[in-house]
Structure 1
């Protein structure tokens, strides 16, 4: 006769950070017969930890009061532009330098469009991500995962929870949503601007300059129409 086991973990919560965690498993061990009928195969039902999404202020409290460690999961380029001081860099995606024919074509297309206009590197999932974190931290460690938009940190948190990590938090909407000076940072730009690169940033600067010139020209024509007419006559006759 098959053995039947059931286990249910406890429910824990942290009300001030809106965190809850519940895990339930129902297992039927082994296979056999019960009253002449084959037993059902093993079944696993699991509801994993609910992710802890926090604001920048709550994140600072987690670091200062509760001893959370910051892990930056962004790619190398964004990390080097700006990152939180004393954080650990474990990228969820790494630059794809594979040289098979298909990857070369995709990389070329990417670099000529997304890479050129938005400064985004051509990346692939980091196969060593979970192992890299496990080599540095124990499953009981308190970890604050950060990225630029909040998507990669959420995906990274899911992977780490599946690997047994329980005390994980992410900043809602990522570093792009925080205020300037919210964290002590290292790099050539502000944390919220670390995702901006490529021709888009140059275009933005050009647009700002052109806008300023046009406004000045409009004000000059409005308040000094005679001088503006003379300048226009000079340019049209030369």
Structure 2
């Protein structure tokens, strides 16, 4: 959450100043959107249309800022609760190596709470998969807005999808496990599994173990893996994965040698060639359209 960059409050003043001609601290005229007598933005006079647009931009920026601030506050509060939960011994901490030993020697159950987009790439043999968050496939306006925001804030690069809470999570857990069951809870990086541990503890489960650092922190020999990719790569996606520009892929390239690096170098060259072809094609189409208009 520390990587989130909140828009400066000064930006709102600058926008108001740029569109209004001079800086003003007065509020914009109140426009009743439900009034049938209100002119549409296209029918407004130029000054009124400018102020109407300015007000919309300010509201949008303020809304985004409030949402990001709320996210930061919620995350900080959750981290305090999780730290206290571990400090008080409500949840025991295991390293990936210790989790592997516990699964093999004491038959403890590994509960995988990752979303399907990560689980289908790699999973621990014998684990039980019940996601606490799942990819949100809804197409309502609110979800579409979240998808666009996620994509614009780095989702295109990291491949992070828009997730929503799985309302059936606790009911699915209770159907499968009794409250006295020993559960080793794991996700890809360790945060979602902490959220799952909190929910499970509040639901009456007392024998909970959390995999510190998540499955991504596990070495190849520590957990028995199934699936097409290494556990470390299950959380990768987007353009960064395609080009091999992630820390996990760079570490793998250092071990695998030039053959592994050449694959992603070829992809990078291919991206440049495609971009160049699209640019040239756009130029040709533009010239063709100009020729048609000139005749």
TM range (shorter): 0.5 to 0.7
Farther-moved stretch of structure 1 (50-59 vs 129-138): 50-59
- Does structure 2 conserve the Cα–Cα contact (< 8 Å) formed by 1:144 and 1:168? yes
SS of residue in 2 equivalent to 1:71: strand
Task: Please tell me whether residue 133 in structure 1 is matched to residue 133 in structure 2.
Answer: no
Farther-moved stretch of structure 1 (47-56 vs 86-95): 47-56
Q: Which has the higher strand share?
A: 1
Shift of 1:74: 0.5
Structure 2 counterpart of 1:175: 215
Cα 1:134–1:178 shift into 2, 3 Å: same
Cα-to-partner distance string for 1:92-129 (whole Å, 9 max, x where unaligned): 10111233212212213324554321122211111111
Unaligned runs of 5+ in 1: 1-46, 214-238
**In structure 2, C-alpha distance between the alignment counterparts of 1:194 and 1:212, rounded to whole Å:** 21
Cα 1:140–1:99 shift into 2, 3 Å: same
Cα 1:70–1:101 shift into 2, 3 Å: same
SS of residue in 2 equivalent to 1:201: helix
- Does structure 2 conserve the Cα–Cα contact (< 8 Å) formed by 1:52 and 1:170? yes
Unaligned runs of 5+ in 2: 1-86, 251-260, 267-295
1:41-56 matched pairs, under 5 angstroms: 49-56=89-96
SS of residue in 1 equivalent to 2:196: helix
Structure 2 counterpart of 1:185: 225
Aligned counterpart in structure 2 of residue 150 of structure 1, from 190, 204, 215: 190
Structure 2 counterpart of 1:101: 141
**In structure 2, C-alpha distance between the alignment counterparts of 1:156 and 1:212, rounded to whole Å:** 39
1:35-46 matched pairs, under 5 angstroms: none
- Does structure 2 conserve the Cα–Cα contact (< 8 Å) formed by 1:49 and 1:161? no
SS of residue in 1 equivalent to 2:244: helix
- Runs of 4+ with >6 A deviation: 210-213
Q: Which has the higher helix share?
A: 2
Q: How many residues align?
A: 168
The two structures, once aligned, show a CA RMSD in angstroms of 2.8
**In structure 1, C-alpha distance between the alignment counterparts of 2:171 and 2:156, rounded to whole Å:** 33
Shift of 1:78: 0.5
- Does structure 2 conserve the Cα–Cα contact (< 8 Å) formed by 1:51 and 1:169? yes
Task: Please tell me whether residue 118 in structure 1 is matched to residue 158 in structure 2.
Answer: yes
Cα-to-partner distance string for 1:2-28 (whole Å, 9 max, x where unaligned): xxxxxxxxxxxxxxxxxxxxxxxxxxx
1:23-38 matched pairs, under 5 angstroms: none
Structure 2 counterpart of 1:77: 117
Instruction: Give the alignment's TM-score, normalised by structure 1.
Output: 0.63
1:214-225 matched pairs, under 5 angstroms: none
Cα 1:132–1:211 shift into 2, 3 Å: closer
